[in-house]
């Protein structure tokens, strides 16, 4: 039985953990030839988990040369590029803005926003030259609503939404659809990374609070997000561009 992405060449940036890993594995399982980029050096682990066609590459999405080389690897290996998924993201810092470390702020913007910019900069022309396709950027519900908890992260994701809309206008006439997926609470390794581990009771209280944001009182799984990503990058979504799609279990429609 043909896969839903048979013949598609896709780059997934940030492919080692969480939503990026789930997206790379799902795309490959559905027949795509995937270039899996990551800064960690563990991208070979993602490739090893798949029976599909995944080529691991080293990539720091904040570095233009790395992103350009990642896209070039897809074109060199497969002679085309159809889909670009800009998944890589980090969440560091937070708290009161007056206490925010400027270095943390810069790093978040470099990965979350500049990384998406570079993915579009190098990915969109390659996709257009291949006859058209799709770019999917990872925003967040934090870019759509304000909580005051992580202003640097939220600002980066709000900017990704705006960048997506502007890029969609520029590249739509060239056959490149550009959308943004905005997950709600997804329990991935990024949660709590970069700071000391919370005591179990504190972590459980945080999880209970975050799960309650959803109308279903649970987190999303990385695999659920990957399924939405696949749809947005596939022909059934061919008339959708410039959209910031919440995948948040209803979090964003609450009035409180």
- CA separation for the pair 89, 222 (Å, rounded): 14
- Residue 180 tokens read as 């943004």
SS3 115: helix
Burial class (CB in 10 A: 0-12, 13-18, 19+), 223: middle
- CA separation for the pair 176, 160 (Å, rounded): 17
- CA separation for the pair 57, 22 (Å, rounded): 17
- CA angle (140 as vertex; 119, 112 as ends), nearest 5: 35
171 is catalytic: no
Task: Find the catalytic residue in 27, 122, 138, 153.
Answer: 153
- Point out the residues that are catalytic: 153
């Amino acid at each position: 039985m043909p896969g839903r992405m048979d013949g598609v060449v896709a780059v997934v940036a940030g492919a080692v953990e969480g939503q990026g890993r789930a997206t790379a594995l799902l795309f490959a399982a559905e027949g795509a030839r995937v270039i899996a980029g990551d800064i960690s050096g563990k991208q070979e682990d993602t490739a090893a988990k798949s029976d599909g066609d995944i080529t691991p590459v080293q990539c720091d999405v904040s570095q233009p040369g790395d992103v350009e080389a990642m896209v070039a690897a897809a074109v060199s290996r497969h002679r085309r590029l159809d889909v670009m998924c800009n998944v890589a993201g980090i969440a560091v810092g937070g708290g009161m803005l007056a206490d925010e470390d400027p270095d943390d702020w810069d790093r978040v913007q470099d990965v979350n926003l500049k990384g998406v910019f570079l993915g579009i900069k190098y990915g969109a022309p390659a996709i257009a030259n291949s006859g058209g396709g799709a770019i999917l950027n990872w925003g967040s519900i934090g870019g759509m609503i304000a909580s005051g908890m992580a202003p640097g992260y939220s600002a980066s994701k709000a900017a990704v939404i705006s960048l997506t809309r502007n890029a969609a206008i520029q590249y739509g006439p060239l056959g490149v659809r550009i959308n943004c997926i905005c997950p709600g609470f997804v329990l991935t390794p990024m949660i709590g990374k970069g700071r000391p581990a919370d005591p179990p009771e504190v972590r459980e209280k945080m999880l209970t609070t975050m799960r309650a944001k959803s109308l279903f009182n649970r987190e999303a799984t990385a695999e659920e997000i990957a399924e939405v990503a696949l749809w947005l990058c596939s022909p059934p979504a061919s008339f959708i561009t410039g959209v910031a799609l919440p995948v948040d279990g209803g979090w964003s429609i609450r009035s409180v």
